[in-house]
A and B are shown apart, each in its own frame.
Chain A
């Protein structure tokens, strides 16, 4: 049973801000929302995690509305090296881990 829904792909020009939204209508009270990045032939790499409102680190920002039924990963001024697949992960309790299907971001020169 899929717990999250993301766009399959997105294109963006270099230097633009990219926003990727993940839907998680059945999110539970204790769930955390985590985003990972994956390059070809590599394992997923942690980007950012949040529970509610806004979280920012040196790489990205994560916006979570009050109802927490969705979240938006924001990448400021993307570069060609940001071309990758981005996964929205909903951690539902200690024994359930659901990765979304991923969004393939292509950054165009």
Chain B
């Protein structure tokens, strides 16, 4: 069983479209994250939820809206996609937001905006 799964794995779309990426974890963790990895492989935190509550909201355009329907899911909706949104988006989870907790990452969603 995959611990942290994301769908879709690949997403190719046109500028201006709206798209969603889904993430699910079956580890029983309370905390989930979204990261963006750019072409230079630099990983940057976007959002974090703990028990469905937003606890980290980095400087991200408000076209990006996370939603956590329950502790096991954290979805990312992106409005009016732009070329610069092309990247790999990783979902992750941890038992809690405490510093010593290990984060477990999903396989990533490769988004290409044309």
Q: Which chain A positions have C-beta within 8 A of B42?
A: 99, 101-102
- Compute how far the CA of A30 lies from the CA of B45 in the bound complex, rounded to whole angstroms: 19
CB of A43 within 8 A of CB of B45, answer no
CB of B4 within 8 A of CB of A43, answer yes
Q: How many residue pairs at the A-B interface have CB separations less than 8 Å?
A: 56
CB of B4 within 8 A of CB of A32, answer no
Query: Chain A: which residue is nearest B44 at the CB level?
Result: A99
Contact-residue bracket for chain A: 20 to 34
Q: Which chain B positions have C-beta within 8 A of A96?
A: 45, 56
CB of A44 within 8 A of CB of B55, answer no
The verdict on A59 contacting chain B, using a C-beta distance below 8 Å, is no
CB of B41 within 8 A of CB of A46, answer no
The verdict on B49 contacting chain A, using a C-beta distance below 8 Å, is no
Q: B-contacting residues of A (Cβ < 8 Å)?
A: 30-32, 34, 38, 41-46, 49, 85, 87, 91, 93-99, 101-102
